[in-house]
Amino acid sequence: MARPSWISGLVLVATACVPAGDGASATPAPSRVAGFDVVTPVARWQLPADLQEVSGLAVTRPGFVVAHNDERGHLVEIDHRTGRVSRQWTFGSPVAREDFEGIDISNNEVTMMTSDGRLWSGTLPVDGGPVTAISVVDTGLGRQCELEGLARSGDQEWILPCKTPRGRQNRDVMFSLFFVRANGDVRTITVPPVRGTRRLSPSSITPASASGDDGFLVVFGPEHTIGHVTAQGQVTALVAWPAGRHPQPEGVAVDGNRLVVADEGQGRRPGTLTVYGRAQ
């Protein structure tokens, strides 16, 4: 099946090979984003049944990521080298039921974001169990957009991608990111369309490196695409995954030399965790 025509205008496109002509060799299309080979996985694992509707991903410690369900505050730590569950936590007792769409973890502090822009924060007990010292802050951004994904820019700002603008606002841009400071101040970075491309819908975001100085990786779930954007809003790469590779990517995290992507399950098929390595 041919790819949508708008994909052809992206900075870096598709991951299939160009057919070879008479006597010509096939030329591989771009496959790198921020130094990662996003075409050839090094591992792929099935997620537990509780993560059929996985909706966010964050690194807890080297080799481990936390995934969460999008309808309940249930967090599951997974060893992305083996696919095994390590620890589990819950937001609240009984567990909070919200439309959670993003997560960030720093040391033992966790923050989850709802689609209407509320930030739930708390402390992760070392051995798992209920999250403690919970607080909730409303950014007010839910009035402008349906939000998906959460990342931190250093210790100064939260980054909340706009998945779907409300009304006609911001529909003339490819996508936009809100940067929220602790005092509530908000700045917005809008990325204009590239050579006639349509709007992209972010579903997850993560710093491209542990330092936070190398921009961000953004997954666009409905378009089955991953890209890199600088802190100034410049898109340096966009790669569309092969058909069927990531049917509904909802989470992304970088752990050193590994890039981890979480997909929702499809029908009776479980959700998955896919791991990529650095490009050689």
- Pairing mode of beta strands 186-191, 151-153: unpaired
Reply yes or no on domain 8-15+29-278 having CATH 3.40.950.10: no
What would the mean pLDDT of 259-271 be, rounded to a whole number? 94
- Residue 27: pLDDT over 60: no
Q: How confident is the model at residue 22 (pLDDT cuts 50, 70, 90)?
A: very low
For the chain, the maximum distance between any two Cα atoms, rounded to a whole number of angstroms, is: 67
Q: Which of 72, 24, 17 is nearest to 49 (CA)?
A: 72
What would the mean pLDDT of 246-268 be, rounded to a whole number? 95
Kindly list the domain boundaries of the chain, sorted by start residue.
8-15+29-278
- Residue 275's SS3 state is strand
What would the mean pLDDT of 122-132 be, rounded to a whole number? 95
The C-alpha atoms of residue 29 and residue 239 are separated, in whole angstroms, by 9
pLDDT tens by residue, 222-247: 999 999 999 888 899 999 998 889 99
What are the backbone dihedrals phi and psi of residue 119, each rounded to the nearest 5 degrees, phi first?
Answer: -105, 115
- Pairing mode of beta strands 74-79, 64-69: antiparallel
pLDDT tens by residue, 88-117: 999 987 899 999 999 999 989 999 999 999
- Residue 253: pLDDT over 60: yes
The C-alpha atoms of residue 245 and residue 190 are separated, in whole angstroms, by 28
- Residue 12: pLDDT over 70: no
The C-alpha atoms of residue 207 and residue 148 are separated, in whole angstroms, by 15
Could you tell me which residue, 63 or 2, shows the higher pLDDT? 63
Structure confidence at residue 13 (pLDDT):
32
